Amino acid sequence: MALLEVNRLHKSFGGIRAVNDLTFSIEQGEILGLIGPNGAGKTTVFEVISGFTSPDSGGVKLNGHDIVGLKPYSLCERGICRTFQLAKPFLNLTVLENVMIGILAKGEPVKTAKEKGNEILKFLNLLDFKDIQAKFLTIGYKRRLELAKALSTQPKLVLADEVMSGLNEKEVMDTMDILKKINGRGITLFVVEHILHAIMALAERVIVINHGAKIAEGTPAEISRNERVITAYLGRGFSDRFQDLSKEKR
Footprint on this chain of other proteins (rule: CB under 8 A) = 13-14, 50, 52-53, 71-74, 76-77, 81-84, 88-93, 97, 100-102, 104-106, 108-110, 113, 149-150, 152-153
Cα distance between residue 82 and residue 70, in whole Å: 14
Query: Least separation, in Å, of the C-beta of 93 and other proteins?
Result: 6
Q: Strand 157-161 and strand 188-192: pairing?
A: parallel
Query: Least separation, in Å, of the C-beta of 13 and other proteins?
Result: 7
Nearer Cβ to other proteins (95/100):
100
Query: Least separation, in Å, of the C-beta of 98 and other proteins?
Result: 8
Nearer Cβ to other proteins (190/242):
190
Query: Least separation, in Å, of the C-beta of 226 and other proteins?
Result: 32
Cα distance between residue 208 and residue 25, in whole Å: 13
Query: Least separation, in Å, of the C-beta of 65 and other proteins?
Result: 18
Nearer Cβ to other proteins (50/175):
50
Q: Which residues contact 95 (CB under 8 A, 6 or more apart)?
A: 121, 126, 129, 130, 131, 132, 133, 134, 137, 145, 148
Nearer Cβ to other proteins (51/220):
51
- Max distance between CA atoms of the chain, in angstroms, equals 56
Cα distance between residue 93 and residue 89, in whole Å: 8
Collapsing DSSP states into helix, strand and coil, what is residue 46? helix
Cα distance between residue 51 and residue 197, in whole Å: 29
Nearer Cβ to other proteins (38/92):
92
Edge-to-edge order in the sheet of strand 205-210 = 80-82, 157-161, 188-192, 31-35, 205-210, 213-218
